[in-house]
Chain A
């Protein structure tokens, strides 16, 4: 066997692994950059896109940039509220769509996909037109953003919870009723625990969609500034390094949630 052949075989055996690693690098480099930049001291330079010196000061004083922390808090408030409302409404809608046969059910099933399928810019502008036409033109702000976010989160919640419900064996609820559980008890002891992973996934998805949204929000925000809008605004002048701190924190929180979920599932399987 020549050296070339041997090298060829080695590559063949490790190609999939190598490609996998490359994909991981591709996905995580931006995040690594954000983390790195959160420690960047750019006080001596106007260039915000190059690493100058290491510092803790961005982490020590995250709220130094004017208005940033207000925007973050506002985004979290809107995100939590929109998530709560969209998750409740969407879960109820999913139950209706899966469990009850009514006139227009299949039409409803199709219509649900429209907000997911239509471009955000179209939804945002038509929503703005609606708000203005119905006299909310001068009062755009927190409430209109919240309404807009509930709207686009709803579709995702319905689709996610529906998938979970469809996979749920109806015999289980009948078995519970057969075993002396009333309708109410059956729901809380059997149906809800089994659907909960779907509801939780829908809530997480809603929050990240809401926290992240720029286009629809920007059109319906009036004078209110959310975190994505803040970043967009300051990007013209140079992004303050504290934005990277917020990014890193958000990333760590989602990592924590995902890992926690993974550990919980693994523990369940092992038990």
Chain B
């Protein structure tokens, strides 16, 4: 039943199911297949009714699409989870120390651990942030760490999404829908709750407010607007936190603070949880063409009048070229060896690596250094000769734009198909919140699943779906 070329999280090396899945699998086996399929359809109807959709750019017809949802949960044991938590916590500490260093004394470059050109020629490096210390020295208020698994004990960090990671609303809604569809399951299996995420987000952001102790901090979620692909999530989080959902044109600088236009005049804001890119924050300080930002926002920020989460300039830390140095970065700032592995990465800017990549292109995954969403990437083993040749030319023309990684044998978890359970490749995004003295992770996450058999691409924009992710109680 399972495809044993890859590690299957439900069946491992074969029946019976692995320990974390035992109770679930027993339950599953005792269910009527037709009923499960009905439930699966029901879930889709609910998603559509409550409007949990994402927008796809460039598609006018179905501009609001549903992300397919699979009703079989992805299950993680508490032991596996605590290992991930320790590893991610260490990484995030290192990331924040690195960011502070990048924009202050640049020790790591002086020590020769990372070539300074990597930031000198990098669009994600924000010169405006040099010498600026964000409140509590927190840069990465919200991180979405992408984890992939290849074996019983093999976990890799694929990406540290430290800019404005999205997907957390799916973590919450997927659980909500599972609770609605299969309430009896939650009486049977002890699953840790994820529902506190908005409350924790609110607390964590509040702890990063610039003038703590002056009453409850006012938090606003800054969205580019309803046509943004993640608008649903922006609205969802604002509603769940009891925060206002604002756009640039709702805000202006009033008496040295950022204030929002309310029905009773302008009211100051302490923390802006922004879901817009750095470029669109402030047309005076960044992209002058932007209509989305707030003129003068960055000046207020620099003067300590408002917290921007995540901090501007954070993108330098989740740049794919910097990523390859993460083991060194963790070691340099924490004095410890990185607990979670990095995926081996060839930086095509280095001639030796480029040569290797060109020679082994059909075995590798090549990504744009600044890309995201699975666009502009090459999956060697799945590519045609023509695609390989085209990519070879691109690599030769601008090698600095690319990195390459081996195609990992991603773990699988079964999905419900017409023929019963069938394995599909998955990854996992874990959401971590950073406050001055606390890094908090919600026990769960967003499992993305490549619904096409054999496919390794889990991106929702390219045929990926999601699953509820269960972390079991101890």
A and B associate: no
Residues of B within 8 A of A (CB): none
Residues of A within 8 A of B (CB): none
